[in-house]
A = this chain, B = another copy of it.
Amino acid sequence: MSRLKPIEYADAPPAVRAVYDDIKTSRNLKDVNNFWKYLAHDPVGLRRTWESVKEVMAPGALDPLVKEMIYLAVSTSNGCGYCIASHTAAARKAGMTDAMFGEVMAVVGMANETNRLVNGYRVPIDASLE
């Protein structure tokens, strides 16, 4: 069983093209990333995911750079290679410097360490935190 192939713009049905067009316009890109080209095998899921990502990542109470760094932090913690690559790129595009990247990694590492210390020592939640 061979793996799925990416669906290029030229081969995409109209519903998929419409999403590709919106991604390209919104992000000022010549072509969409592989993520969208694979997800296009499920056109309904493609549209839903893009609409959600667009809404979640828009400027709001947090600026887009902070959001991208949080996305990168979670992807790093989950060990998703593709996601780390694409959100490192997106965060850099939004202004993440080398020093900021290093600090994101340091916090992610520290959080993963202390999360496990909490688990193993079975630390109960302080009354002041409830």
List B contacts of A79 (CB < 8 A).
78-80, 115-116, 119
Nearest CB of chain B from residue A93's CB, rounded to whole Å: 7
Decide if the interface of chain A is mainly helix, strand, loop or mixed. Answer: helix
A120 and B74 within 8 A (CB): no
Nearest CB of chain B from residue A12's CB, rounded to whole Å: 15
Q: In the complex, which residues 47-69 of chain A have their Cβ closer than 8 Å to any Cβ of chain B?
A: 48-49, 52-53, 55-57, 60-62, 66-67, 69
A117 and B104 in contact, given A34-B124, A129-B89 (Cβ under 8 angstroms): no
Chain copies in the assembly? 6
A55 — nearest CB in chain B belongs to which residue? Answer: B48
Q: A35-B117, A41-B102, A45-B117 are in contact. List 18 more A-B contacts (CB 8 A).
A: A4-B122, A42-B103, A44-B102, A45-B106, A48-B55, A49-B109, A49-B117, A52-B52, A57-B107, A61-B100, A67-B107, A70-B70, A78-B115, A80-B118, A82-B129, A83-B114, A85-B130, A105-B120
List B contacts of A38 (CB < 8 A).
121-123
A sample of 5 inter-chain contacts (CB < 8 A) reads A42-B102, A52-B110, A70-B70, A76-B120, A84-B119
Residues of A within 8 A of B (CB): 1-4, 33-35, 38-39, 41-42, 44-45, 48-49, 52-53, 55-57, 60-62, 66-67, 69-89, 92-93, 97-126, 128-130
